[in-house]
Chains A and B, each alone.
Chain A
Amino acid sequence: MAEKKTSETTENNSVWAHSIKVRDQLAVVWRLIKMARPSYLLFSGSIFFVIITIVFDGYLPYILENFMNKQLNDPSTPLKTVVAFALIFGSIRIFSAILLYFQNFWYTQASETASNNVRKKLYLKLHSLGMRYFDQVPGGALVTRVMNDTESFFDFWTLFLNLLYAVISIISIYIFMYFSDAGLSIGLLLIIPITLFTIWIYQKYSSSVYRNMRAKLSTLNAKLAESINGIETIQNFRQEQRMMGEFESINQEYFDARFKMVKMDSRLLGPMNQLLLGLSIVFILWYLGNQSFSSAVAGGTIYAFTNWIANIFNPLNNVQQNLSTFQDGMVAGYRAGKILDDTTYEPAQNKGAAEEVSKGKIEFQHVDFSYDGKTTILHDLTFTAEPGQTVALVGHTGSGKSSTINALMRFYEFQKGRILIDGHDIRDIELNDFRKKIGLVLQDSFMFFGDINSNIRMYDDSITEQQIKAAAKFVDADNFIESLPKGYQTPVLEGGSSLSAGQKQLISFARTIVRDPKILILDEATANIDTQTEAAIQKALKNMRTNRTTIAIAHRLSTIKDADLILVLDKGSVVERGTHRQLLAKKGYYYDLYKMQSMENAGK
């Protein structure tokens, strides 16, 4: 189990900078226990066996003690009795070993299931959050939350088991000790406060040392990752020496932090436990030696007590060793809780929303929109796109083009006014139907690991190969895909690094068109694309718009010129509207923008 090391995160987590309050820790623990519900049965089975083995652990020295004290004191004991005893002793141990196997196995499986249950819950929760959340939290951090953090719940469950083991062992062994020698067992109760005290001391001093070490490791890995990613820049500016120097000091800081931890552990952990165990043995011998002055003390008793006492210290030692990694689990649980409690949900549809998108008419009626509830981004936006029409949104960065799309796509909630589709309030449309009928082409054509086929299909198994081909043909992607050595089966790497920006766009067009949406939302990319692909893209855009209501954040003049309605946005308001011809004839804002530029060019 020691091998299950989660890989270090590259980010610098501020959580490590502070300790978590005890009350929050308890809340985290309680939550983890609640979320382990699918594992309750396995956990119980395992714990039941744990209790049995612990009782055997206490029982075996007890019977061996009696055997030594009685049978071995009697020279007439026949060999048969000795062998019989040895076999009973052995059988109990073997039986206990079998239980041990199952308790280990079940417990590990239960922990894994519990961790994975949290993982599923987090994943589900994240999918229910709105785009606002994803615009704020980097994807890498979320992966760490869902994957690596949950992995450290193992540490939590390990500690939980060790704690349970220690408590039950102490109780069980004290009972056996009591039956063996009541006085001595009561004297040995002293160990409990002493060990609790050392655990407390260790916990008190080590937790900050440990957190410091983890924080340093985080920084170190972040620095390493950044240096590898930015190597080109570092080398271009000849900053290798400086980077080496900076890394060396972080490396040294981590070493110092780690060595501090090693010293702390050597002082208070293993060696300290051994010392306390030794001193307890001295105490036992002192007590029994003292007793021997007045009454007989048997050898078996010495054996039994020295054995029992070791069986008390071993689990305590395990608990202590897990205390620092337990903090990993705490931090992870705390962060998981934060996600689970997050309320940045997707905008909700009205209850019983069951309307469907049929023709694709879109109406914005006096829509106000704000991201933070304070600064209004869209003011009183009103326009209508009749079925099959193209509406182009034009305007500078920050004029409200993207916000219009965000409101229409239900990525963010708008505050005032109404958005109607085919006459129905957008909040009354069934969300699945809504998503299926509205196709959004994003500026950034995100590619998924797999092949071209799977990138067009995207999990939807009802789409046939023919449909994929037809869609690709429709958006003019067919040519380049067929020219690839493996055609539609050409592997797509992480982030689509093997494809050009234009090719990625064409694939994302096909991905949208294969679903045959009624409404098309285009966020045209500005990226510079080579002439040939650009021609294909323009043709594809034209094809896609035909017979579909289209709302476009237009960057291409061809799209703008073809639009049935151009909305010129400025600071969230429509300043002009009309077709290209109408707007030019108007000689207003649009005309100025358009003409000023052409005059400048003409002058050169």
Chain B
Amino acid sequence: MGIFIKLKWFFKENLRMYAIGLLLLFLTDLSHVVPPYIIGLFTNEVVDRKLTWIYLLVFLSILALIYLLSYLFRYGWNTHIIKGAALLERTLRKRLYDHYMEMDAPFYQKYRTGDLMSHASNDLSAIQRVASGGILMAFDSSVSILLVVASMIIFVDWRLTLIAIVPLPFLAVGVSWIMPRLRRAFTQYQEGFSKMSDHAQESFLGMKVIKTLGQSKEDIQAFNEQTDRQIRINARVARVDSMFDPLATIIMTFSYVSMIILGSEFVLHKTITIGQLVSFTAYLSQLVWPMFALGQLFNVLERGNASYDRVMDLMNEKSLIHDDPRGVSVVKAGELNIRIKSFNYPDDPKAVLKNIDIKVPKGKTLGLVGPVGSGKTTILRLLLREFDSYDGEIDFSGHDIRDYRLSSYLKKIGYVSQNNFLFSTNIAKNIAFSDPDLPQNEVEKVAKLAALHDDIMQMPKQYNTEVGENGISLSGGQQQRVAIARALIVSPAILILDDALSAVDARTEKDILNALQHQSRDQTTIISASRISSIINADEILVFQHGKIIERGTHHHLLAQNGYYAKTFHQQEMASHYEAKLTGGD
């Protein structure tokens, strides 16, 4: 019952709708108990051969009218109460989505896509079942039972009623005994199902590997075994699930047998009429569904409750992203200063950055190199304000970056990450992601800067070519270039390329870097790369190792120092240039 209280806000918001719905539901139930009574009366008239034309017409008109009203009542409560459930699902889904949009990186590390999806579909559907089925079961069954039993007592006989309804609670008990068992079996079924799905997914994605190793037979074998196991698990589900109907039949049999014996004796001794017995059989059959529903009610509520708690746990996760409206909202191009004594991630006391001192004058380009885990990406994350607590300060264009209003600040940063996510829409919309209203010539301008325009013009529908799941698949290099164009279109004050040229071939890389250099005199550019060719022309290059800057200077300067940079350059870059040339790195 707790879930009803938790959902009180929703019922309150939609009080009118629910009030009307429940009223109509009540009227529906009421309209159900009338026909058996009328049929009983009618039977007596017929059997006693007292029926007249007038009587017949009156009886049948009333009956027909009640059935018609009943149709309207049913239509009414369906469209109110089931609508309520859909409304609840819509409301919660919207809230959840908005919440997802506002959550930060740690949240997305904690929850995987599959989980977040399943909360937004399975859990919500369990909750909305409370607002439809739950309400229905709770209200409808109790009202029905009361009305039907009252009618039995008033219109027929209380002793017959008593003896006939004694077995019925066992139906509710039986159902509530079956439900948790069914659920357990069903959970196993679902687990088996997702195991099979995972297997299938991997095999389809790794088909080339499987074919190459000649493992098709073994893979099919493994899948078939899982399938057969799944059939066996399903037997567990089916064994329990198949009990519902027989259970109802058996319990109702006890009621019928007692009704026949006692009812017949009453008819024979003229305690009740044959018409009353006919009414009674009709009433008795009306009790089956409410008893069934009561048995399921607990389960629906319990599941809804658990789902609601899970969703609320998600909703209660706080995002560290904080958009302070009092912050400085105008972000101009300018000088970037990074001075950090030390920084460590919140969950790890080890310092990942030490004694960093960087100065990038307006319009200049900074290059970052160094092995994986040396601190390059961490610097960028601080610059993107993913973490605001560090010993030191970063200021841009005269303000500490923490003094800017976050939304204004991020808008002026063009960030291209290592994994370039494209949306399943056309290329133009992907490039104009930051503002769908941007004109086509803007889109083409940045596409040219990113050395992408020619590629696009060769595609079937050019800028209207759909990409992603429903469209064509772009090469890694093309994806990176779309992501670069997408960042350039915001005319950022700071452009950050985080290993964003790794899949682009050497010639194209050069074209892009040249274009970038010439497109804006005010824009600060930061390029982090493992390929030295990406940063070769930077105004200053920083070499990171273990969170410290170990070398700095221009390319020539660094080569002259003959340290890590020079060594790496000679070892790797020379070769990789030939490689790129000879083999086409794309």
Contact = CB atoms under 8 A, between A and B. Distances in A.
Contacts of B256: 86, 89-90, 93
Contacts of A318: none
A292 B47 CA distance: 8
Interface stretch (B154-162, B276-284, B346-354): B276-284
A109 interface: yes
Contacts of B410: 235-236, 238
Nearest to B372: A530
Contact of B125 (A5, A112, A300): A5
Contacts of A116: 227-228, 230-231
B35 A458 contact: no
Contacts of B44: 299
Best-buried of A12, A97, A434 by chain B (most CB within 10 Å): A97
A446 B67 contact: no
A127 B210 CA distance: 9
B424 A222 contact: yes
Contacts of A440: 208, 212
Interface in A132-163: 134, 138-140, 142-143, 146-147, 151
Nearest to A89: B260
Nearest to A71: B264
B118 interface: yes
A140 B125 CA distance: 23
Contacts of A164: none
Nearest to B559: A604
Contacts of A112: 230-231, 234, 238
A108 B433 contact: no
Contact of B51 (A120, A228, A270, A289): A289
Contacts of B384: 236
Contact of B75 (A266, A285, A560): A266
B264 A82 contact: yes
B204 A143 contact: yes
B342 interface: no
Contacts of B503: 526
Interface string B522-543: 0000000011000010000000
B586 A100 contact: no
Nearest to B419: A232
Contacts of A274: 67, 70-71, 74
Best-buried of A131, A222, A296, A458 by chain B (most CB within 10 Å): A458
B586 A397 contact: yes
A459 B94 contact: no
Contacts of A483: none
A97 B121 contact: no
Nearest to A220: B93
Interface in A583-604: 590, 593-594, 596-598, 601, 604
Contacts of A242: 436
Nearest to B266: A72
Contacts of A243: 101
B90 interface: yes
- Chain B interface helix/strand/loop/mixed: helix
A232 B71 contact: no
Interface stretch (A276-284, A349-357, A366-374, A474-482): A276-284
Given A119-B227, A127-B220, A11 B470 contact: yes
Contact of A75 (B243, B268, B506, B583): B268
A275 B585 contact: no
B223 interface: yes
A419 to B, nearest CB: 17
Contacts of A267: 75
A434 B136 CA distance: 64
A275 B250 contact: no
Interface stretch (B190-198, B393-401, B513-521): B190-198
Contacts of A82: 260-261, 264-265, 268
A138 B469 contact: yes
Contact of A131 (B193, B198, B207): B207
A570 to B, nearest CB: 10
A271 B31 CA distance: 13
Contact of B231 (A113, A147, A306, A512): A113
A27 interface: no
Interface in A427-466: 431-432, 434-436, 438-440, 442, 446, 448-449, 458-460
Interface residues of B, number: 157
A202 interface: no
A105 interface: yes
Contacts of A382: none
A531 interface: yes
A58 B395 CA distance: 86
B325 interface: no
A499 interface: no
B223 A123 contact: yes
A251 B577 CA distance: 51
A542 interface: no
Given A230-B421, A288-B46, A282 B502 contact: no
Interface in B542-567: 555-556
Contacts of A409: 212
A593 B585 CA distance: 13
A302 interface: yes
A83 interface: yes
A557 interface: yes
Contacts of B457: none
Interface in B17-55: 35, 39, 42-44, 46-47, 49, 51
Interface stretch (A184-192, A257-265, A321-329, A543-551): A257-265
Contacts of A399: 584
A567 B371 CA distance: 34
A436 B216 CA distance: 12
Nearest to B111: A228
Given A116-B227, A459-B215, A289 B572 contact: no
Interface stretch (B57-65, B310-318, B332-340, B446-454): B57-65
Contact of A11 (B249, B417, B469, B585): B469
Contact of A105 (B227, B242, B261, B433): B242
Given A100-B245, A397-B586, A271 B200 contact: no
B439 interface: no
A281 B329 CA distance: 75
B180 interface: no
Interface string A231-263: 111111111101110011001101100110011
A383 interface: no
A553 B583 contact: yes
B113 interface: yes
A289 B42 contact: yes
B197 A147 contact: yes
Given A7-B118, A271-B78, A299-B277, A597 B223 contact: no
B205 A139 contact: yes
A77 interface: yes
B302 interface: no
A271 to B, nearest CB: 4
A375 interface: no
Interface string A276-315: 0011011001101110110011111011001100100000
B315 to A, nearest CB: 15
Contacts of A297: 46-47
6 contacts: A82-B268, A105-B239, A226-B423, A247-B94, A396-B584, A494-B198
The 8 tightest CB contacts between A and B, nearest first, are A435-B214, A278-B67, A104-B242, A396-B584, A266-B78, A299-B274, A271-B74, A108-B238
Given A64-B260, A232-B419, 16 more contacts: A90-B253, A90-B257, A102-B242, A108-B238, A143-B201, A143-B204, A233-B417, A237-B433, A237-B486, A238-B411, A266-B78, A281-B39, A282-B60, A303-B277, A399-B584, A460-B215
